[in-house]
Amino acid sequence: MADGPKPSSSVKLVLLGEAAVGKSSLVLRFVNDDFQENREPTIGAAFLTQKCNLPSRTIKFEIWDTAGQERFASLAPMYYRNAQSALVVYDLTKASSLAKAKHWVAELQRQASPGIVIALVGNKLDLTNQSTGLEGSMGGLSLSAAASDGDEEEEEEGDARQITTAEAKSYADEEGLLFFETSAKTGHNVQEVFTAIANAIPESTLKTRGGPGSGRTGGGAAGDTFGGSGGVNLSAVGETNKDGCAC
């Protein structure tokens, strides 16, 4: 995929959200373009990588897919430390999952690296009425506003949707988050989420490397040492990224 002289850099991305909202499925769709109906719940966290080609550069996502169950929350800092971007996922068909997503956003805003790019993602669009037909037409859209506009009109009966686009969108705007509604099952909007994140990462936080494929991780924090790292350190989270760009 990645070839030519384009600069390549690694970006650490973490997925957070309530259990069974489809975090792992989103990653699987993005990384392998695949979908499995019954995926084992993530224990602790799973790690995957995938490249994302932008016109000007290549971003290699190092994806930390975390466990969603409430009690795993205390492990999350281990995974989101040094993260430059985060996907906070909720389930469009489950009202409580947005509340949980809001907690995660708050947690990230206070505890994660400053300047972290956060995307709010409502998954399982396929279970709502507007799932079909939109797939093709939405391709290429990378910004939230466009994605949500199209969706709003079509809400009808028999819809499993519990969270309206408007509600989530207004929250995302308030907090300055990227916003998408996706379906990991159909693949709708999945690539777009990651592309949007790649675009939103400020240039200055990227450490460019000589060429693609090098085993060395750039990351924002490569050189930094964390106080007493190596411990199961829940409280110390990075003060690494110097750039505080809001997205």
Partner 1 sequence: MLSLSSLISKASSLIDPNILPPSLLNQVNGSSNDGQTPAVLFRSNFRLPDSENPLAVIPCELSLPTGEHYFGRLHLSESFLCFSSSAPSSAAGAGSSSSSTAGPPSCGFTLPLVAIRRVERLHSRSYLFALAVTTWHNDQKLTLQFNSLRSTCEKFCEALKKNLRSQMSEMKNLRMLVGSCYSEWLVTGGKSKDGAKEEPDAGLGMVWRYPGDAKKLRDRSKMRLWAEYLRENGRNITLIRQPTFHKLIRVGLPNRLRGEVWELTSGSLYRRLYNPTLYTDTLTEFSGRHSLSIDEIEKDLNRSLPEYPGFQSEEGIGRLRRVLSAYSWRNPDIGYCQAMNIVVAALLIYMSETQAFFLLSTLCDRLVPGYYSQTMYGTLLDQRVFESLVEKTMPILWEHLVKSDVQLSVVSLPWFLSLFINSMPLVFAFRVLDVFFLEGPKVLFQVGLAILRINGEELLDVTDDGAFISCLKNYFLRLDESAHPRSDNEKLRAVTRFQELMVVAFREFSGITEQTITDQRIKHKDGVLSSIESFAKRTTLRNLGPESKRLATNDLGYIYDRFYKVLYERQERLAAIELEKERLNEKKVMSSARSISEKSINEKGRIGLGPSSQLMDYDYFREFLAGVAKWAIADSPSQLFSPSLGASLEPQWGGNGRKKSINLSPWGDNAEPADHEFMQRLFRRWDTDYRSGLSLQDVVAGLAGIKGKKDIMESISYFFELYDDDGDGKIDREGILKISEALLFITRRGWETPPNIGDQNRSGEGKGGTDPFLGSVSGFIRRCFEYADPDQQGRQEEVSTGVEGMDELVDLLDLASDDEDGESVKSPVKEKGVMKEKQKDEDMEQKDSLDLDANTKPSAMSANIALDPANPLHITLPTFRMIVLADEVLEYFFETGFADSIVLSTDGSKTPSGRNFPAGTSAFGNLGGGGIAGAKGLRGVLDNIVNDGMRVAQEVRRRMDEAQKELERNAVPGKYKEDEEDEGDAKSIMEGDRDLLKGAEASVVDDAAKLAIKTGLPEDDAASGTLLGSPTSSMATTHVGEELRTPSTPMPTRVEFEMDK
Which of residues 5, 140, 210, 215 is near partner 1 by CB under 8 A? 215
Residues 12-41 that bind partner 1 (CB under 8 A): 19-20, 37-41
Name every residue whose Cβ is closer than 8 Å to that of residue 38 and which is 6 or more positions away in sequence. none
Strands 85-91 and 8-17: parallel
Q: Near partner 1 by CB under 8 A, which window of 123-131, 158-166, 197-205, 209-217?
A: 209-217
Query: Which one, of 69, 129, 75, lies nearest residue 237 by Cα?
Result: 75
Which of residues 13, 14, 26, 45 is near partner 1 by CB under 8 A? 45
- Per CB under 8 A, 51 contacts partner 1: no
- Per CB under 8 A, 174 contacts partner 1: no
Which of residues 134 and 219 has its CB atom nearest to partner 1 in the complex?
219
- Per CB under 8 A, 233 contacts partner 1: yes
Secondary structure, 3-state, 32-98:
HCCCCCCCCCCCCEEEEEEEEECCCCEEEEEEEEECCCHHHHHHHHHHHCCCCEEEEEEECCCHHHH
Which of residues 216 and 242 has its CB atom nearest to partner 1 in the complex?
216
3-state SS class at 143: coil
Contact status, residue 79 vs residue 47, Cβ threshold 8 Å: no
Which of residues 45 and 138 has its CB atom nearest to partner 1 in the complex?
45
Q: Is the dihedral of CA 69, 74, 75, 80 positive or negative?
A: positive
The contact set with partner 1 (CB under 8 A) reads: 19-20, 37-45, 47, 49, 62, 67-69, 71-75, 77-79, 103, 106-107, 110-111, 215-217, 219, 221-222, 224-226, 229-235
